[in-house]
Amino acid sequence: MKGELRIDELRGLIRYHDDKYYGNASPEISDYEYDQLMHELLHLEDEHPELIREDSPSRRVGGQPLKEFATIPHTIAMLSLDNTYSYDELRDFDIRVKKLLGREEIEYTVELKIDGVSASLIYHQGEFQQGVTRGNGMEGDDITWNLRTIRSIPLQLNESMDIEVRGEVYMPVKGFEAFNQTRDVPFANPRNAAAGSLHMLDPKQVAKRPLSIFIHSLGNVPNWTIPTQEQSLCKLQGLGLVVNPYHRLCQGIDEVITYCQECEKLRPDLGYEIDGTVVKVNSLEFQKRLGVTSRSPRWAVAYKFTAQQATTILKDIIIQVGRTGALTPVAILEPVELAGVKISRATLHNEDEIKRKDIRINDRVVIERSGDVIPKIVGVLPAAEGRNAPFIFPTTCPECGAMVIRLEGEARSFCSGVNCPAGRQRRIEYFASKGCMNIEGMGTSVVKQLLEEGIIEDIPSIYTLRKNGDSALFLEEKIGRCPHFSKRLCSLEGWGDKSVENLLASIEESTTRSLNRLINSLGIPQVGSKLSTVLAEHFGSMENVSCATQDELLNIPDIGPKTAANIVTFFSQEQTKSLLASLKSLGINGKGKEGAAVPRSRGDEAEFVLTGTLPNLSRAEATEIIQRLGGRTADNVSKKTSALIVGDKPGSKLKKAQQLGIRIILAEEFKEMAMVGIDKNGE
């Protein structure tokens, strides 16, 4: 009985602090103290499983990983808003509304437009029941278990009622920056990070992402008696939902414009990204009378802030080599203040971007922050005097001196050095991964540990860890050389002497891998498992592959000229030659049979067809993403097609797909899928 009382008390306390944290943004206890409460609750619930209730705060993370999201139709369409970009356009909106309603003056509410991802939340008798993405507006994905992990979403309302509410899931800027630190492929902005997170299939992973939500409107609520938007927001807050504190009731469009100006000034200090305001007719009765068009409601409009720009001098262009070996040019700027933040660097994306905009050192440039946290260079101002020579993109890696490889059909460049310090850890991880040499137990954290302890320094040194005869002696030797090895490895979760020995055994076992796996494990740019198998079958030995000429490679149907040139460049690097020689001397020559590829039947793969232009994505990039997600592309829609990806100005394929009832994926959704794909690989 005592346990039961304490459980109730703990649940109450945790809800109270959730509310303080999110509702009022004024936490009263530290994160540590909060975790203590949660631990105690989990512990008591373990002891008293009969007292577990679905709305307990401990039940936020309970969902199992999904295979795919179920599709749920929206009872009322989730339309997007029309955008306006100037106060004149806002006045036009006001004139239209007045005319349609036949009134002189309209009362509006103005709210912040949170730069996040829309979601619909359904409560049944006060209990959170289902959460759905906007999707295509008519139907969305069931992301209930992902939303449950967000602490600012109450699992239980203060009133037992049936209600659908809508809101914007977002990632606060601080949380976003910390989270991006942990990623190999950082998200460009908090919005993308929120979208990618919500589309992950494993709620436990979502729970680690710093997501939050603001509720801003009603969905399907049959018996809502409250007459205005402003009062509805109050009511939603009273139910325990988190409503953004910045909203104002405005008499007429002039007051609306004044408040929009105030909101724009709030922007740098909010701690989350907004990209404008939302202006709504306050009376719900008037909203109903105004109705909707096929795309958007007539009673609301978004006012988008102009992008934040400044001019400064480009002092230098440096090249950063990322963990994936990608070379990214970065602009070093004369520091300048932009929307309250001091900016001294901007991204230049890639070589083509610099050429296209003809950006040169010492130019006067316009920089902009628009949603993205990292500013970019919009363009160059005309110069009064002579300019510097055009920037020459390096042909060798600034970190290791290996040749730079530009990918076929892509603007990105990569370092080809297999032992480049920038990409070393990632390359070793890749080498050991499942599809390559499959060294069980040698994941990210272990590789990192072994590198930090100096136990391995490159790929061949993995094989110097093999035990020779007496394993106890081996361990002793290793520990003798590096006293922290055993202790620190054992202190990692799930590690002990036994698992150290298991690791050594799987290293030993990996020496028998087949040639296609060995080729794949080298991480040759744009040579994945499929092409590795083709190369292995065609050339028969590592020696032959590494000596292949461009002409020989071009005889293989799957290989284009750029890829052929890249393969030749890759094998001509000193670092590659030395790696292959070391592996050979250690007996790793790809002569084993283990893991030889079984050709996969094409019927297993999902078939995608593209139509229209995908924003910010070339066909080649889209195709690569599809392949990475385990699918293939086809030119025409047929019954075999799994889904049609629709960009701007789609062609006749769209109609055909609709006739055949084939799944339609919008460009935006596809980008989110692509991000989730990266997540799966990256984590």
Point out the residues that are catalytic.
113
118 backbone dihedrals φ, ψ, rounded to 5°: -75, 145
Closest to 615 measured CA to CA, from 670, 663, 665, 658: 670
Residue with tokens 């093999």: 466
Distance in angstroms (rounded) separating the CA atoms of residues 605 and 547: 33
361 CB burial (10 A radius; 0-12, 13-18, 19+): middle
Closest CB to Zn ion among 415 and 662? 415
Those residues whose C-beta lies under 8 Å from the C-beta of residue 426, and which sit 6 or more positions away, are 184, 323, 324, 325
Q: How far is the CB of 422 from Zn ion (least distance, A)?
A: 6
Distances (CA, A) of 267 to 244, 249, 270, 520, 682: 14, 20, 6, 48, 32
479 CB burial (10 A radius; 0-12, 13-18, 19+): middle
- Residue 558 is labelled as binding a ligand: no
Q: How far is the CB of 589 from Zn ion (least distance, A)?
A: 26
The answer to whether the beta carbons of residues 221 and 121 sit under 8 Å apart is no
- Residue 456 is which amino acid? I
392 CB burial (10 A radius; 0-12, 13-18, 19+): exposed
List 309's β-bridge partners, or say none: 368
Q: What count of other Cβ atoms lies within 10 Å of the Cβ of residue 466?
A: 15
List 607's β-bridge partners, or say none: 632
Q: How far is the CB of 411 from Zn ion (least distance, A)?
A: 19
- Residue 594 is labelled as binding a ligand: no
Closest CB to Zn ion among 330 and 666? 330
- Residue 32 is labelled as binding a ligand: yes
Closest CB to Zn ion among 241 and 415? 415
Q: How far is the CB of 575 from Zn ion (least distance, A)?
A: 8
Q: How far is the CB of 401 from Zn ion (least distance, A)?
A: 7
Those residues whose C-beta lies under 8 Å from the C-beta of residue 488, and which sit 6 or more positions away, are 449, 453
Distances (CA, A) of 178 to 171, 181, 187, 202: 11, 5, 12, 21
Kindly tell me which residue out of 420, 515, 617, 625 binds Zn ion, with binding defined by CB under 5 A: 420
104 backbone dihedrals φ, ψ, rounded to 5°: -80, -40
226 CB burial (10 A radius; 0-12, 13-18, 19+): middle
The percent of the chain in helix, strand and coil, each rounded to the nearest 5, is 40, 20, 40
Q: Is 141 in the site for Zn ion (CB under 5 A)?
A: no
The answer to whether the beta carbons of residues 367 and 336 sit under 8 Å apart is yes
Closest CB to Zn ion among 413 and 514? 413
- Residue 280 is labelled as binding a ligand: yes
Q: How far is the CB of 398 from Zn ion (least distance, A)?
A: 8
Stretch 349-388: interaction string toward Zn ion, x if CB under 5 A: ----------------------------------------
Token readout for 177 is: 């920056």
The answer to whether the beta carbons of residues 107 and 39 sit under 8 Å apart is no
Q: Is 427 in the site for Zn ion (CB under 5 A)?
A: no
Stretch 197-216: interaction string toward Zn ion, x if CB under 5 A: --------------------
Count residues binding Zn ion (CB under 5 A): 7
Closest CB to Zn ion among 399 and 624? 399
Kindly tell me which residue out of 172, 417, 590, 647 binds Zn ion, with binding defined by CB under 5 A: 417
Closest CB to Zn ion among 346 and 400? 400
Closest to 674 measured CA to CA, from 605, 607, 628, 642: 628
List 322's β-bridge partners, or say none: none
Q: Supply the DSSP string of 164-198, one letter for each residue.
A: EEEEEEE--HHHHHHHHHT-SS--SSHHHHHHHHH
Closest CB to Zn ion among 94 and 399? 399
- Residue 400 is labelled as binding a ligand: yes
Closest CB to Zn ion among 281 and 402? 402
Q: How far is the CB of 399 from Zn ion (least distance, A)?
A: 4
Distance in angstroms (rounded) separating the CA atoms of residues 550 and 27: 64
- Residue 34 is labelled as binding a ligand: yes
Q: How far is the CB of 570 from Zn ion (least distance, A)?
A: 12
| Binding segment (CB under 5 A) for Zn ion, from list 149-157, 265-273, 412-420, 595-603 | 412-420
Those residues whose C-beta lies under 8 Å from the C-beta of residue 293, and which sit 6 or more positions away, are none
The answer to whether the beta carbons of residues 179 and 171 sit under 8 Å apart is yes
- Residue 452 is labelled as binding a ligand: no
- Residue 35 is labelled as binding a ligand: yes
Angle at 115 between CA 113 and CA 117, to 5 degrees: 110
SS3 category, 210: coil
| Binding segment (CB under 5 A) for Zn ion, from list 32-40, 309-317, 420-428, 465-473 | 420-428
Closest CB to Zn ion among 187 and 430? 430
- Residue 81 is labelled as binding a ligand: yes
Token readout for 636 is: 């025409």
298 backbone dihedrals φ, ψ, rounded to 5°: -85, -10
Q: How far is the CB of 420 from Zn ion (least distance, A)?
A: 3
The answer to whether the beta carbons of residues 136 and 193 sit under 8 Å apart is no
Token readout for 74 is: 């929206």
| Binding segment (CB under 5 A) for Zn ion, from list 1-9, 416-424, 517-525, 527-535 | 416-424
Q: How far is the CB of 428 from Zn ion (least distance, A)?
A: 14
- Residue 420 is labelled as binding a ligand: yes
- Residues numbered 391 to 410 that lie near Zn ion (CB under 5 A) are 397, 399-400, 402
Q: How far is the CB of 426 from Zn ion (least distance, A)?
A: 12
Closest CB to Zn ion among 336 and 451? 451
Length of the chain: 683
- Residue 103 is labelled as binding a ligand: no
- Residue 272 is labelled as binding a ligand: no
SS3 category, 673: helix
398 backbone dihedrals φ, ψ, rounded to 5°: -65, -20
- Residue 18 is labelled as binding a ligand: no
Q: Is 415 in the site for Zn ion (CB under 5 A)?
A: yes
- Residue 246 is labelled as binding a ligand: no
- Residues numbered 93 to 132 that lie near Zn ion (CB under 5 A) are none
| Binding segment (CB under 5 A) for Zn ion, from list 195-203, 389-397, 433-441, 503-511 | 389-397
Closest CB to Zn ion among 371 and 394? 394
Positions at the binding site = 31-35, 80-81, 111, 134, 168, 280, 304, 397, 400, 415, 420
User: What is the binding site for Zn ion (CB under 5 A)?
Assistant: 397, 399-400, 402, 415, 417, 420
Which residues are known binding-site members for NAD(+)?
31-35, 80-81, 111, 134, 168, 280, 304
